[in-house]
Amino acid sequence: MSIPKILGIFSICIMISSLVHFAQAENITVQTDNTTGTITGLTESSGFTYKDFISGSFRAQYEGRWAEGEEDHDMYEYFRFRTKDFYNDKISIAGFGRLSEDFDGHEPKDGAFRDILDTYEHSVNGRIYYLYADIKDPVIDKSSLRIGRQYEYSLETILFDGVRYEQQIGPVGTYAFGGLRFSQYSNAYFDTVAGSGVAFRPLMDTRVTLDYVHIEDDEFDDDEVGVNVWHKVYDDLNFYGRYTLLDTLPKDFLVKLSWDKIDWDANVQVSYYRFLHSLAEHSNNISPFYEILGSFKPFDLISLTGYKGFGEKFGVSSGVDYRRLIDEDDENTFNRDYNRSFISFMINNVLLRESKFAFTLEYWNIEGIDHSADLSVDFDKKIGKFDIGGGTGYSVYKYNFIGSNDLAAVLDDEYTRDIEQKINVRTYYLRVKYSLSKHSDVGMQWLTEVSDTDPETYHQLLLSYSRNF
């Protein structure tokens, strides 16, 4: 597909979106930019009002990819909306979905651009991430009912079609949900989920939640229970603890201390996590990728992270993770010991106003055999209606099968290249966003990647148009 043709289709999408949008609201709306994460306003629930009955956003994005004679052209449209409360201010409706089109059909199974969308039958695919109605105080006061496709974030992240009811009973918050599990990637025909929970404050500085979830996924029938405790130990010191049971067996627990010294613009977190029992195949939401990676073996993970700001312009984050299998005999390709560390610097508004610079370095050391290092630099600057950014990243992966030192003695290069690999990946990108109005913008991003994989050189172009309404 030629570039002019792609741009023509893109222009048509922009025009369609302009027709689709509702009367422009003058008030503040929500907009997220995944690159900079800038909030440009708050939401209806924060007390802001919209003149229009429906508010939301539309985004159209073209993605073109080129690599050594191969190319791929896709289009994505995102639509998100929420209505104001209607029917005696009791009901509102919200939804979010995506439409994707693969202009040049499916990639071959060994194609350079093969990805999850190529596994579907059609080139045009739609997803409904959520679509639900909220009903305030449906039966009694201090309650709410949500009906439709929705996400549940408690013990596990669950997408389901069903109902969720919340009720505040004095100081205790309660909820219950149930319905049919849904997945964008597999058939969840008549798989069911249900759950409930309570949240309360037994002491002024303590919050406790107790959650339960039940998932039926084909032959798997899982029950999970978890208790979470947050407690303010002292002025700047917070404690968090979690303990979960899966099918009556202890699954894991986590304790974390967080010291947040606002006056010093600093914080430190130390945590200890223990995964208690080997986990094999379970329902899709709980399974630790068993079908791909096999059993998930018990381990300990100790983490220490910290942040320190230096005035308004400088900040440093750093941290280390230390992971060890509880039983050394469990060690295999997919259950490993590792040490991980990172450090990142951020510099805001130095030399250039409204500029942001971030530098991040991350290093993984897996049993002294595998290594990975990531280095990235990102710069962002606002110039009038333009938001210009760019950066580069370098990653190196040095990977061996366990015990490959012995293998090297008996294998020649033809085999060791499968077991000893060093892959360098370099990326360079540039992005520009231009605000057409308070509510719309167009964006462009170009990325070039050079790596030791096949294809070695890869280019990506993103063109986008966004509109809030």
Partner 1 sequence: MIRKNTCHLIFLITISFLFLLGGCKESEIHYSHAKHIERGLKDCNTCHLYQEDLEPKWPKMAKCLTCHMKDFNPNKPESCLLCHTKPGMKIKVKHNIPKKYQDLKFTHKVHLENNIACNQCHKGIEKSDAITLDLIPDMFGGCIPCHKERGEEKIACDVCHKHIKKNRMPLYHEDRWVKHDDPRWIQKHGNEFYYSEDYCKRCHADLNWCVNCHQDQKPRNHNNAWRRKTHGFAASWERKKCMACHQEDFCVRCHENTTPLSHTASWGGVNTRNRHCLNCHFPVSMVSCTVCHPSPEHPSAGSSPHPPFVGNCTQPGCHPAGRAGEPPHPKPAGIQCTVCHPQ
Site for partner 1 in 247-286 (CB under 8 A): 248-250, 253, 256, 258, 260, 262, 267, 276, 284-285
Rounded to an integer, what distance in angstroms lies between the CA atom of residue 413 and that of residue 263? 58
Is 203 in contact with 228 (CB distance < 8 Å)?
no
Interaction of residue 75 with partner 1, rule CB under 8 A: no
In the window 81-120, what residues touch partner 1 (CB under 8 A)? 82, 94, 96, 98, 109-110, 112, 114-116, 118-119
Q: Does residue 324 belong to the site contacting partner 1 (CB under 8 A)?
A: no
Tell me how far apart the alpha carbons of residues 163 and 177 are, in angstroms, rounded to a whole number: 6
Name which position in 34, 69, 105, 311 contacts partner 1 (CB under 8 A). 34
For the bound state, the minimum distance from the C-beta of residue 351 to partner 1, rounded and expressed in Å, comes to: 18
Beta carbon of residue 178, minimum distance to partner 1 (angstroms, whole number) = 19
Give the nearer residue to partner 1 in terms of CB position, either 19 or 410: 410
If one asks whether residue 437 binds partner 1 (CB under 8 A), the answer comes out as no
DSSP 8-state secondary structure symbol assigned to residue 455: S
Considering only 2, 19, 46, 189, the residue that binds partner 1 (CB under 8 A) is 46
| Residue 154: strand, helix, or coil | coil
Is 99 in contact with 66 (CB distance < 8 Å)? no
DSSP state of 291: H
Q: Collapsing DSSP states into helix, strand and coil, what is residue 22?
A: coil
How far is the C-alpha of 271 from the C-alpha of 239, rounded, in Å?
A: 10
Which residues between 330 and 389 bind partner 1 (CB under 8 A)?
A: 331-334, 336, 338, 340, 342, 344, 346, 348, 356, 358, 360, 364, 366, 370, 372, 374, 376, 378
Smallest separation, CB 260 to partner 1 (Å) = 5
- Polymer length in residues for the chain: 469
Q: How far is the CB of 271 from partner 1 (least distance, A)?
A: 9
> Per rule CB under 8 A, is residue 42 in the interface with partner 1?
yes
List the structure tokens of 270: 């130390």
Evaluate whether 425 touches 398 at the Cβ level (below 8 Å).
Answer: no
Burial bucket for residue 249 (CB in 10 Å: 0-12, 13-18, 19+): exposed
Other C-beta atoms lying within 10 Å of the C-beta of residue 44:
18
Could you identify the residue written with the tokens 């605000």? 435
Size, binding site for partner 1 by CB under 8 A: 141
> Is residue 400 within 8 Å of residue 419, measured between CB atoms?
yes
Interface residue with partner 1 among 407, 442, 444, 462 (CB under 8 A) is 407
Counting contacts by CB under 8 A, is residue 50 touching partner 1? Answer: no
Residue that has been written with the tokens 């059909």 in this structure:
105
Q: Under a CB-based contact definition with an 8 Å cutoff, are residues 392 and 375 in contact? A: no
**5 or 313, CB closer to partner 1?**
313
For the CB of residue 195, give the shortest distance to partner 1 in the complex, in Å: 15
Helix H or strand E segment including 231: strand 220-234
User: Phi and psi of 126, rounded to 5°?
Assistant: -120, 150
From the DSSP assignment, how many helices (H) and strands (E) are in the chain? 4, 22
Neighbours of 11 (CB within 10 A): 12
Of the pair 5, 422, the CB lying nearest partner 1 is at 422
Residue 385 phi/psi, 5-degree rounding, is -85, -5
> Judged by CB under 8 A, does residue 243 bind partner 1?
yes
Cβ proximity to partner 1, 15 vs 169, nearer residue: 169
Site for partner 1 in 189-208 (CB under 8 A): 202-206
In angstroms, the CA 434 to CA 468 distance is: 14
Q: CB of residue 46 vs partner 1: minimum separation in angstroms? A: 5
Out of 91, 194, 411, 442, the only residue in the binding site for partner 1 (CB under 8 A) is 411
Beta strands 249-261; 299-310: pairing state: unpaired
Complex with partner 1: residue 316 or 432, whichever CB lies closer: 316
- Least distance between partner 1 and beta carbon 273 (Å): 9
- Which part of the chain contacts partner 1 (CB under 8 A), choosing from 3-11, 16-24, 435-443, 455-463? 455-463
Identity of the residue numbered 259? W
| Binders of partner 1 in range 165-194 (CB under 8 A) | 183-186
Residue 32 touching partner 1 (CB under 8 A): yes
Smallest gap, in angstroms, from Cβ of residue 412 to partner 1?
Answer: 7
Which range in 8-16, 17-25, 408-416, 433-441 contacts partner 1 by CB under 8 A? Answer: 408-416
* HSE-CB of 81 using CA atoms within 13 angstroms: 18
Fill in the DSSP letter of residue 48.
-
For residue 257, how far is the Cα from the chain centroid? 24
230 binds partner 1 (CB under 8 A): yes
Nearer to partner 1, 388 or 447 (CB): 447
- Tokens of residue 18, six digits: 């302009």
Binding mask 119-148 for partner 1 (x = CB under 8 A): x---------xx------------------
Enumerate residues 413-432 that contact partner 1 by CB under 8 A.
Answer: 414-415, 418-419, 423, 425, 427
